Amino acid sequence: MAERNWKRIFRKVPDPIIRKASKIPGDNVMAACVRKIPASVLSSGTYKHLGMRMNGNSPEFPSRLMPQPKFGPCSLRNAQGEEIVRKDLPMKTKTYSFDAPNWGDWSNGTHEVSWDRQVYQREFVPPKELEISITLLATEAGGDPVFVFRFRVEEVLNKRAADFGKALFFNLNLLQENTGAADVFAADADPTQYLNTISVHWEILPPGEGRDVLVRILAKFREPGKELREKLEDRYSFLEKLKPVAYVSGTSGFQRYFGAKFADNLVVFENLEYGNAIYVMFEDWQELSKLSRLELLRDRRGAGFERIIHRKGWKDEVKRAVEARLVPA
């Protein structure tokens, strides 16, 4: 079975999801996501825990199911509930006892030994028993067909409810744990709204005064950390020296892209979530950029782009690749 290399759970609701939820018209939302899954991945067993597999040339999957408790901590809590140690409450006295032999010999009978201890109170939270529905939205033909699935936690959440944040956090983690992705949509969102999230929405930014571009890109992050700021600053400064005609900033779901445009068909960009490589795209970059890293490497085998890993000398490799393609034919 193929290894699942996705992030398992969130420590908090991601800021982009909070912002998106606040902008959705109406009060009712649902935790859901869209994933593009190649037939080969379904065949490998990556999604076997959700009952998904290939049956000949077609995907086979249940319309909805409750995640397996053994698949992860969130799935376990969903199916069996959890016991919470209430350290915020006063401790209480608990009596422990056991039978002991009289004078050290069981043949002489027994007596009960008891003692008291102060313990934390415990609270049992019953299971939510939520189900995840699975819907096939589209199919992309090819040697290894790609199926576009919608996964949705079947619970409508009201943004005005007192426990909305807690409920959303749980549902997102249930989805993330089982599918490797999480998002939020209006409860009545139609298939088109889901499909739109797999496209990259681009913003072309003029070179301007340099730092203005950097500020606009960082503004997409609610609280960019020091490491992200330094990384973006370094890569922006490097690209600036290559004299691009424009900068490119885009989002697809919650993936963030940043790059520099040197010609209509020459863009250098990277996904800030992956961070381990930069891509020099010179053919149909707007289409190529919609593909995930795995899709690029599996299906394209280098056609239309050059992938340069961030290791010693990567800047020299990028400069060479850009200059080679800027030479007039």
Per-residue model confidence as pLDDT tens digits over 256-278: 667 888 888 888 887 665 557 88
Same domain for 181 and 248, yes or no, is no
Q: What residues contact 317, with CB distance under 8 A and at least 6 apart? A: 308
253 pLDDT tier (thresholds 50, 70, 90): very low
Same domain for 103 and 186, yes or no, is no
Which two tokens mark 252? 């697809």
The reported pLDDT for the residue numbered 178 is 94
206 pLDDT tier (thresholds 50, 70, 90): confident
State the Cα–Cα distance between residues 78 and 175, nearest whole angstrom: 11
In the predicted structure, residue 209 carries a pLDDT above the cut 60: no
Q: What percentage of residues in the chain have a pLDDT greater than 90?
A: 34
Same domain for 22 and 131, yes or no, is yes
In the predicted structure, residue 300 carries a pLDDT above the cut 70: no
The reported pLDDT for the residue numbered 140 is 83
Tell me if 213 is assigned to some domain: yes
> Among the listed ranges 11-25, 48-62, 86-100, 291-305, which one has the minimum average pLDDT value?
291-305
**Residue that terminates a domain, selected from 198, 223, 238:** 198
pTM: 0.62
Tell me if 4 is assigned to some domain: no
The reported pLDDT for the residue numbered 319 is 92
Tell me if 116 is assigned to some domain: yes
Average pLDDT over every residue of 104-122: 87
The reported pLDDT for the residue numbered 54 is 94
Average pLDDT over every residue of 246-251: 74
Average pLDDT over every residue of 138-156: 90
Cα distances from 271 to residues 210, 250, 254, 268, in angstroms, run 20, 9, 11, 11
In the predicted structure, residue 327 carries a pLDDT above the cut 80: no
Same domain for 132 and 108, yes or no, is no
Same domain for 24 and 170, yes or no, is yes
Same domain for 194 and 310, yes or no, is no
Same domain for 301 and 234, yes or no, is yes
Write a three-state SS string for 188-232: CCCHHHHHHHHCCEEEEECCCCCHHHHHHHHCCCCCCCHHHHHHH
The reported pLDDT for the residue numbered 210 is 57
Q: How many residues does the chain have?
A: 329
Q: How many structural domains are present in the chain?
A: 3
Average pLDDT over every residue of 162-173: 95
Work out the angle between the directed axes of helices 164-179 and 15-23 (0-180°, nearest 10). Answer: 120
Tell me if 292 is assigned to some domain: yes
State the Cα–Cα distance between residues 324 and 320, nearest whole angstrom: 6
Mean pLDDT of the chain: 83
Same domain for 217 and 300, yes or no, is yes
The reported pLDDT for the residue numbered 189 is 93
Most confidently predicted of 113-117, 175-179, 246-250:
175-179
Same domain for 182 and 288, yes or no, is no
The reported pLDDT for the residue numbered 64 is 94
Same domain for 262 and 293, yes or no, is yes
**Residue that terminates a domain, selected from 140, 165, 198:** 198
Q: What residues contact 244, with CB distance under 8 A and at least 6 apart? A: 207, 260, 261, 262, 268
Tell me if 1 is assigned to some domain: no
The conformation of residue 167, written as its DSSP 8-state character, comes to: H
| pLDDT greater at residue 205 or residue 99 | 99
Same domain for 191 and 221, yes or no, is no
**Residue that terminates a domain, selected from 98, 122, 146:** 122
The reported pLDDT for the residue numbered 311 is 86
Tell me if 310 is assigned to some domain: yes
State the Cα–Cα distance between residues 182 and 153, nearest whole angstrom: 10
48 closest CA partner among 34, 62, 36: 62
The reported pLDDT for the residue numbered 315 is 92
In the predicted structure, residue 329 carries a pLDDT above the cut 70: no
Tell me if 5 is assigned to some domain: no
Same domain for 155 and 277, yes or no, is no
pLDDT tens digits, one per residue of 22-58: 999 999 999 999 998 889 889 999 999 999 999 998 9
164 pLDDT tier (thresholds 50, 70, 90): very high
| pLDDT greater at residue 259 or residue 174 | 174
Average pLDDT over every residue of 235-256: 75
The reported pLDDT for the residue numbered 272 is 61
User: 77 lies in which domain range?
Assistant: 15-81+126-198
Tell me if 192 is assigned to some domain: yes
